[in-house]
Amino acid sequence: MASSTSGEREKVTSKLPGQLRSRVKVRAAEHRLDMQDVVAQALQAWQQAGPRPAANTSGAPPFSTWLAPGVYDTFKAHCADRKVSYIQGLAQALELWLADHPSPQEEHVATPHPRRRILANQKGGVGKTALTAGIGQAYAEGTEYGGPAQRVLLVDFDPQGHLSTQFGVDNLALGSDSLVKHMTGEAQGNLADLIVPIADERFGDRLHLLPACADGFVLDVKLSTIRAREAALERALEPLESGFDVIVVDCPPSLGLAMDSAIYYGRRRPEEKPAASGVVIPVQAEDSSADAYTLLTGQIEDLRQDMRLEVDYLGLVVNMYDSRRGYIATSSLQAWQEIGDPAVIAVVPDRKEQREAVRSKQGLLVYDPKSDQAAAMRKIAGILS
């Protein structure tokens, strides 16, 4: 990607996939915009939105447009920060612009589906629970605190119950009604009756938790005996969906049938746009996380192919990062960033505030809302909005 200056604008020459260019030209005409204005809007939105999924730019033909002085230099700096090529950055920006500017000819039908974020990794100890709690809180924060004030359901799908414990909520007693019983056809009541509000002025009445139950340890065995087991979690949660804008699921460190059900729940439904729902993968900057990542993505790809599903990777979160740990940490972070798709959407520092919040049985954004980790949670929620 190169530029040359003439008058009040500078000519920018790059490459752009032909199909993407055609889509943008048509959409620009529908919105009565010049291509150069579309590109300028797209670059600005891309820079503000944070890392995006990688775009396919192979075999792209040349493309040029005119931009105001300084726009190109700012764009280059953002590309350097994200370690993407200028061609890749431009393609991502225009894909984002298309998503934000639907065709006026399309009929837009509101759907009751909440956005679903599935926090998954086969490896334990990578911080799935902390991220589930933090992201959920960030979505639910009131507008007076700078949050989007959305209705959030946190689902403790891990029978160990760490998410429930973090908020000071008791796990459901063995033998009582539970999410597992609703998944396996043994329900004893209304699942909505099990939901616990997380009370704090930051969240109003918008943050809720579905607690864990130890019967989840036998869920894989029970699922093996029922039909359409991949859809079991969806069947259980679907009656609750209209009451929430976002559902965040804290998955167990497992590659069994329960994980299949969670991945299926996060699939792209027919009415949904790409990346409206999907899987967020917490990892750490060390070698064993890479092995676990390979196992998880293998399971997702198998499910995709076997059931012909669209499952979107919403991104990687490198959690509990500390560069002082030396070469292993820094080189592992670089390796995660070089994957490209899914992209690293955030690096969460290893700080004591999260551990203190858990010990005090408070959400991080209540315990220390100004901490670096709290800021990272808000950043992730913003990127995934």
Domain-ending residue, one of 65, 100, 135:
100
- The answer to whether residues 127 and 80 belong to one domain is no
CATH of the domain at 349: 3.40.50.300
**Number of C-alpha atoms within 13 angstroms, CB side, residue 151?**
10
C-beta separation of 150 from 139 below 8 A: yes
**Single pTM value for the model:** 0.71
- The answer to whether residues 330 and 240 belong to one domain is yes
Mean pLDDT of the 6-28 span: 80
- The answer to whether residues 297 and 166 belong to one domain is yes
Mean pLDDT of the 307-334 span: 85
User: What six digits make up the tokens of 204?
Assistant: 């109003």
Range of the domain at 308: 115-383
As a whole-number percent, the residues of the chain with pLDDT over 70 amount to: 95
**pLDDT winner (highest mean) among 52-56, 123-127, 228-232:** 228-232
Domain-ending residue, one of 44, 67, 100:
100
How many domains does the chain contain in total?
Answer: 2
- The answer to whether residues 120 and 215 belong to one domain is yes
Lowest mean pLDDT among 44-48, 127-131, 133-137, 320-324: 320-324
Q: Is the pLDDT of residue 17 over 80?
A: yes
User: What six digits make up the tokens of 384?
Assistant: 């995934």
Q: Which helix (H) or strand (E) holds 306?
A: helix 287-307
- The answer to whether residues 14 and 160 belong to one domain is no
Determine, yes or no, domain membership for 106. Answer: no
- The answer to whether residues 41 and 9 belong to one domain is yes
Determine, yes or no, domain membership for 109. Answer: no
164-181 burial, b if ≥16 CB within 10 A, otherwise e?
A: bbbbebebbeeeebbbbb
Query: pLDDT (tens digit, 9 = 90+) per residue, 350-363?
Result: 888 888 888 888 88
- The answer to whether residues 218 and 151 belong to one domain is yes
State how far the Cα of 254 lies from the Cα of 234, in Å rounded to an integer: 18
As a whole-number percent, the residues of the chain with pLDDT over 90 amount to: 48
- The answer to whether residues 225 and 256 belong to one domain is yes
Summary count for the chain: helices (H), strands (E) = 15, 11
- The answer to whether residues 123 and 30 belong to one domain is no
- The answer to whether residues 140 and 54 belong to one domain is no
Q: Give the 3-state secondary structure of residue 2.
A: strand
Taking the C-alpha atoms of 129, 131, 96 and 23 in order, what is their torsion angle to the nearest 10 degrees?
A: -10
- Would you give the DSSP letter of residue 268? P
Determine, yes or no, domain membership for 107. Answer: no
Mean pLDDT of the 291-297 span: 87
Domain-ending residue, one of 49, 76, 100:
100
To the nearest whole number, what is the mean pLDDT of the chain? 87
Q: What pLDDT sits at residue 106?
A: 53
Q: What pLDDT sits at residue 178?
A: 95
Mean pLDDT of the 234-251 span: 95
- The answer to whether residues 181 and 316 belong to one domain is yes
Determine, yes or no, domain membership for 136. Answer: yes
State how far the Cα of 296 lies from the Cα of 293, in Å rounded to an integer: 5
In sign, the C-alpha dihedral spanning 238, 240, 244, 248 is: negative
- The answer to whether residues 134 and 223 belong to one domain is yes
φ and ψ of 381, to 5 deg: -60, -40
Q: Is the pLDDT of residue 110 over 50?
A: no
Residue length of the chain: 385
Lowest mean pLDDT among 13-27, 94-108, 176-190, 204-218: 94-108
Q: What pLDDT sits at residue 1?
A: 52
